[in-house]
Homo-oligomer: A and B are copies of this chain.
Amino acid sequence: MSVETRKAVVLLSGGLDSATALAIARSEDYEIFALTFRYGQRHEVEIEAARRITSFFKVTQHVIAQIDLRAFGGSALTSDIAVPKGRTPDTMAQGIPITYVPARNTIFLSFALAWAEVLESNDIFIGVNAVDYSGYPDCRPEYIEAFMRMANLATKAGVEGRQQLKIHTPLISLTKAEIIRRGLYLGVDYSLTSTCYDPSPAGLACGCCDACTLRLKGFAENGLNDPVGYRTEFRHSI
């Protein structure tokens, strides 16, 4: 019996979550088409991380799409507003942080939808997470459901009944510690990933932005050291 390989478009930022989502898609026997954005983010080293991850996992194709979200401003990740530092998971949970990029996941999923339509793929993977989600509205299950409904009305394949798009969110109800355990089980090499919102030019993580704080907590809860490099001044303090 010949088994047809299903194609999946995987949104890959280069961080811990999306690397794990990619590993999960691969473990479910999807052929992987990884999609990364150069969107004017301050932390461009994550694009290098995405390249390392797609090379490690030998994906079929990796597109790095260039879009300019800086034209609209409004986020610490794309403009000159300072990235908040030193917050705890509890203080992060209050309100939506300045690192939120307006409509980012909507834009990313729209591009993934376009590519899925061209590939005749029914499956998009995104590593959003509603537990340690840092307060982003476009990481919630009800948002993902609404996007899926819209997407199935948007495309030629949807209208012609050839496509019933599914957005897979395998991490949505996992804690960061659970995501890391799952990824390690699937062979993810987390030293390849980049999570920090404000890394040094050499790619060393700051250790105290929201993303680093959640990541370090996840490794600590598993009794593990994070394999990525942190800045010296931070390493002295832990």
For the complex, what is the distance from the CA of A1 to the CA of B227, rounded to whole Å? 62
Q: Which residues from 39 to 72 on chain A have a C-beta closer than 8 Å to any C-beta of chain B?
A: 63, 65-69, 71-72
Instruction: Check A228 for interface membership: any CB of B closer than 8 A.
Output: no
Closest to A158 in B: B137
B residues within 8 A CB of A153? 137-138, 140, 142-143, 146
Instruction: Check A200 for interface membership: any CB of B closer than 8 A.
Output: no
B residues within 8 A CB of A67? 65-68
A154:B105 contact, CB within 8 angstroms: yes
Instruction: Check A147 for interface membership: any CB of B closer than 8 A.
Output: yes
Q: Which of B102, B111, B149, B151 contacts A118 (CB 8 A)?
A: B102
B residues within 8 A CB of A151? 103, 106
Give the copy number: 2
B150:A154 contact, CB within 8 angstroms: no
Determine how close the nearest CB of chain B comes to the CB of A146; give it in whole angstroms. Answer: 4
A138:B154 contact, CB within 8 angstroms: yes
B residues within 8 A CB of A74? 114, 117-118
We find that the number of chain A residues with CB closer than 8 angstroms to chain B is 44
For the complex, what is the distance from the CA of A155 to the CA of B105, rounded to whole Å? 10
Q: Which residues from 207 to 222 on chain A have a C-beta closer than 8 Å to any C-beta of chain B?
A: none
B110:A106 contact, CB within 8 angstroms: yes
Instruction: Check A113 for interface membership: any CB of B closer than 8 A.
Output: yes
What 0/1 readout, one digit per residue, does chain A (54-94) give for beta carbons within 8 Å of chain B?
00000000010111110111100000000000000000000
B68:A65 contact, CB within 8 angstroms: yes
B residues within 8 A CB of A101? 114
Most buried by B among A66, A140, A147, A151: A147
What residues make up the interface of A, taking CB atoms closer than 8 Å to B?
A: 63, 65-69, 71-74, 96, 100-107, 109-111, 113-115, 117-118, 137-138, 140, 142-143, 146-147, 149-151, 153-156, 158-160
